[in-house]
Amino acid sequence: MSVKITRELVQRMDQEDIMTAISRNIFPTDLRLRSAGNRKTMDDSSMLKVDESCSKLPSSSVNGGTKVGPGTNLKPIMDAKCLNGRQKVYQHHSTENNCLMRFSIYIPETEDANQKFHVVIFLSGIMCNEQNFLLKTGFQQYASEQNLIVVGADTSPRGVEYPGDRDAPIFGRSAGWYLDATQEPWNKNYNMYSYISKELPEIIRNNFPTTGQFGLIGHSMGGNGAVVIGLRNPSMFKCITLLAPSCNPTSWGQELIFRKFLGDDEEQWKKFDASCVIREYNGPTREIMLDQGGEDEYLDFLLPKRLKTCAENNVNACVTVDLNMREGYDHSYYFVASFIENHLIYHKNVLDNTSM
């Protein structure tokens, strides 16, 4: 049956409806989703608040925080006691993205002033920012129990606007895809790959009590980012786990994502596609844990089995994917909340063994 997507229909659509339309190739790319700014979901409202606060900040406020490193400043936005630790949010000027960025960070409390903690960075999916993981999963309990610093990264540069950056919820300010754009005008600010792989870890390492050992967890779009960033930077990220990851986005996002950010060179696309990267990986042995909801409404284009197959076909036999299908679970943060404890325990064990 043919479905016509009209502006009136979009006004009534939620995120899940939109993603289903995209996955079925019935979503017109020229339809501007002004409804994305009007829907009252936590994802959208919190993202828009960050955009607005960043865009309204005077330039002097960028320099009003704690010095972090060459040309970078760290400004506290939120600090609250949570269980046996502190949940914080910081803002800083990103040299990679050339704009203001925020990240959340949970730091366990300790009586030992010299104690150091391993770090796990969580990469979220589309239409999210650093707030979603912080507010929706209850991870703080398990981070406290495992003595882990857990960082929630943002998904796109903030406080910048370009024509077309609101056209679809899987592109632009809703989704930076953790890549480094090569095409104008996106290459001025959309450098999330370098931000996550270099700048953010340096900020965390220089300003918080870390062991220097990092792991990555990714959900949805963030799962693709975790594989790409983790396997391309194995000396930085020692373990990777995934929750309902997007595993082969070049198979469906050619026009919607990759050609816009990276141009026509499909070899460049492969550098930011999890299935392509895992198939060609040649580095230290990695065992990637992947949890996938059996009732995930996006399963047909997340393609977790394809990621597992590409790992099995890795010519260097140095990476595996442990795919766990979790029956009854969908794609939401309820699913993430159900399994985040297992993932943090996994990271704790791997990072402990790595640092020995």
72-81: strand order across its sheet: 66-69, 72-81, 85-94, 99-108, 148-153, 117-123, 210-220, 237-245, 286-293, 319-326
Q: Confidence band (pLDDT; 50, 70, 90) for 30?
A: very low
In a domain, 40, yes or no: no
The rounded mean pLDDT for the chain is: 84
In a domain, 41, yes or no: no
Backbone angles phi, psi at 219, to 5 degrees: -115, 130
In a domain, 25, yes or no: no
Catalytic residue among 92, 296, 343, 347: 296
Single-letter amino acid, residue 281: Y
CATH classification of the domain holding 232: 3.40.50.1820
Catalytic residue among 92, 118, 219, 331: 331
Is residue 296 part of the annotated active site? The answer reads: yes
Higher-scoring residue by pLDDT: 164, 131: 131
In a domain, 10, yes or no: no
- The boundaries of the domain holding residue 331 are 50-355
Higher-scoring residue by pLDDT: 257, 21: 257
Higher-scoring residue by pLDDT: 17, 276: 276
In a domain, 309, yes or no: yes
Q: Confidence band (pLDDT; 50, 70, 90) for 266?
A: very high
Is residue 93 part of the annotated active site? The answer reads: no
Cα 230 to Cα 284: distance, rounded to the nearest angstrom: 11
Asked whether the beta carbons of 294 and 262 are under 8 A apart, the reply is no
Cα 336 to Cα 317: distance, rounded to the nearest angstrom: 29
Cα 331 to Cα 79: distance, rounded to the nearest angstrom: 30
Point out the least confidently predicted range of 46-55, 185-194, 223-232, 233-242. 46-55
**DSSP-based three-state secondary structure for 164:** coil
Point out the least confidently predicted range of 20-24, 107-111, 256-260, 304-308. 20-24
Q: Where are the alpha helices (DSSP H) in 106-174?
A: 130-136, 139-146
pTM beyond cutoff 0.85: no
In a domain, 42, yes or no: no
pLDDT tens for 49-99 read 333 333 333 332 333 334 444 445 899 999 999 999 999 999 999 999 999
Contacts (Cβ under 8 Å, ≥6 apart) of 172? 156, 162, 164, 165, 166
In a domain, 19, yes or no: no
- CB count within 10 Å of CB 79 equals 11
Task: Give the count of domains, the chain.
Answer: 1
The pLDDT score that the predictor gives to residue 356 is 61
In a domain, 225, yes or no: yes
Indicate whether 288 pLDDT > 80.
yes
- CB count within 10 Å of CB 354 equals 15
Catalytic residue among 35, 104, 144, 220: 220
Asked whether the beta carbons of 101 and 198 are under 8 A apart, the reply is no
- Helical pair 333-355 and 139-146, crossing angle rounded to 10 deg: 10
pLDDT tens for 191-218 read 999 999 999 999 999 999 999 999 999 9
pLDDT tens for 98-111 read 999 999 999 999 99
The pLDDT score that the predictor gives to residue 242 is 99
